[in-house]
């Protein structure tokens, strides 16, 4: 068990650097991080017809769903399984993988709430949690109505609602996943659940970074989970005019930066990272993927669903992230773009990159892996950070598939259709969300010694 001291043997006053020591993912391309990355490298697209519910009457009938996920195999401890709806189950599975990948225990031991079996015994008081997610209380209404728990009479309605099991609320609450993970893994450090739409898990990484740097924690489990595969959510995005309508050609529907893009493709899944103080990781002999070197955030104050044409907000987030990391624009080797495949936002991000990086922007490879995964919304920032880490590890830049016709408003190197080999020492991953929230993270190669 580690000491509760925040210095952990380093020279007093020296900065705490934060590294990634574990990753886990459940995505439309695979049920773990390795299979997801293999899908990316194979240019595989996870978009297809919606099957979770009957979308036959919807204007958009395609999405990037998770297939083959066995909820029964989670084997969650008592008290945890009751809050694992579809979204939280993805998050729980990704967290199991990330914890095991970080050498904390094997996945089987973790699912039984045991950490010392074949893994490192950490101090739960210095292990925190930072999640990008949100509640789905509107999902609860149909179930309550089906159970006739919402009668017209107010007194009877109050009595009936009091009879609803606690799990019915927790499953759809914004804090359900945090409860599940903290309970299952005995995490008792700083905790936060962040809901800023498409920027949620990016900001969750930023929060975790700050908590470790400040000395409040030595380790943080950070990431996001999402499943919007229900009629009310899909209908809402259709009404906003945000979704692609390429129902007859789903594999080519997500086409970031392409001139014929017509909207994004909803996706589901989860992605989790174990973040750790570098000295702490060194002391326990952990494998390090890279350093989470910087985070920057801003808000647009423009429109609810669109980024500003001048790219001001996204540019400010990128500039803040680079400054936080102490990285010069010319040091950046790759940008994993937010790149949703919407007309205005792809153009805005292109402008933001050019304003942030100046002439250097034309020389930086940029790609949107949403062309393959779809848009995982609350989990998007975390999965794209993981894909950026793997790009650094393998020296491989993932492509933007379905890029067929150039848009004059989008004139950067988007790594069209085929990935390429390249050494990546510094990567930037962008997330820009509804409501105007922006977040950028900087990942930097970390020396082995």
What residues act catalytically?
Answer: 198, 338, 375
Provide the token pair at 415.
């790594």
Strand order across the 437-444 sheet: 191-194, 127-132, 219-226, 269-277, 18-26, 290-299, 437-444, 426-432, 334-336, 366-367
* Alpha carbons 74 and 111: distance in angstroms, whole number: 7
**Pairing between β-strand 366-367 and β-strand 290-299 as defined by DSSP bridges:** unpaired
Q: At what angle do helices 380-394 and 33-41 cross, to 10 degrees?
A: 70
Decide if 281 contacts 94 (C-beta within 8 A).
no
Burial class (CB in 10 A: 0-12, 13-18, 19+), 396: middle
Counting every residue written for the chain, the total comes to: 449
């Amino acid at each position: 068990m580690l000491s509760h001291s925040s210095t952990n043997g380093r020279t007093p006053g020296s900065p705490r650097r934060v590294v990634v020591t574990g990753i886990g993912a459940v995505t439309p391309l695979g049920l773990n991080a390795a299979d997801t990355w293999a899908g990316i490298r194979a240019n595989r697209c996870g978009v297809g017809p919606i099957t979770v519910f009957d979308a036959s009457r919807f204007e958009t009938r395609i999405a990037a769903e998770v297939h083959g996920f066995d909820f029964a195999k989670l084997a969650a401890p008592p008290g945890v399984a009751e809050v694992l709806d579809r979204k939280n189950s993805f998050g729980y599975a990704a967290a199991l993988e990330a914890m095991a990948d970080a050498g904390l225990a094997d996945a089987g031991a973790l699912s039984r709430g045991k950490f010392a079996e074949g893994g490192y015994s950490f101090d739960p008081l210095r292990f925190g949690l930072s999640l990008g997610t949100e509640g789905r209380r509107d999902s609860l209404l149909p179930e309550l109505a089906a159970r006739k728990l919402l009668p017209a009479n107010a007194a009877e309605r109050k009595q009936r609602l009091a009879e609803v099991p606690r799990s019915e609320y927790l499953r759809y609450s914004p804090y359900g996943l945090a409860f599940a993970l903290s309970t299952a893994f005995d995490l008792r450090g700083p905790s936060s659940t962040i809901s800023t739409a498409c920027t949620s898990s990016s900001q969750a990484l930023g929060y975790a970074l700050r908590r470790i740097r400040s000395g409040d924690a030595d380790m943080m489990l950070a990431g996001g989970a999402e499943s919007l595969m229900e009629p009310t959510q899909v209908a809402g995005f259709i009404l906003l005019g945000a979704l692609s309508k390429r129902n007859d050609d789903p594999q080519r529907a997500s086409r970031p930066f392409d001139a014929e893009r017509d909207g994004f493709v909803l996706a589901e899944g989860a992605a989790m990272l174990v973040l750790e103080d570098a000295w702490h990781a060194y002391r326990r002999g952990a494998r390090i993927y890279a350093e989470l070197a910087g985070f920057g955030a801003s808000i647009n104050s423009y429109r609810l669903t669109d980024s500003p044409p001048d790219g001001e907000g996204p540019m400010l987030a990128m500039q803040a992230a680079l400054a936080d990391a102490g990285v010069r624009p010319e040091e950046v080797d790759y940008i994993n773009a937010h790149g949703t495949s919407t007309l205005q936002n792809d153009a805005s991000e292109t402008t933001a990159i050019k304003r942030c990086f100046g002439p250097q922007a034309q020389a930086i490879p940029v790609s949107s892996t949403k062309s393959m995964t779809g848009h995982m919304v609350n989990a998007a920032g975390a999965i794209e950070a993981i894909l950026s880490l793997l790009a650094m590890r393998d020296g491989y830049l993932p492509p933007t598939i379905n890029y067929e016709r150039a848009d004059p408003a989008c004139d950067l190197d988007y790594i069209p259709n085929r990935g390429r080999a390249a050494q990546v020492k510094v990567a930037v991953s962008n997330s820009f969300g509804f409501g105007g929230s922006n977040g950028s993270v900087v990942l930097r190669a970390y020396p082995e010694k």
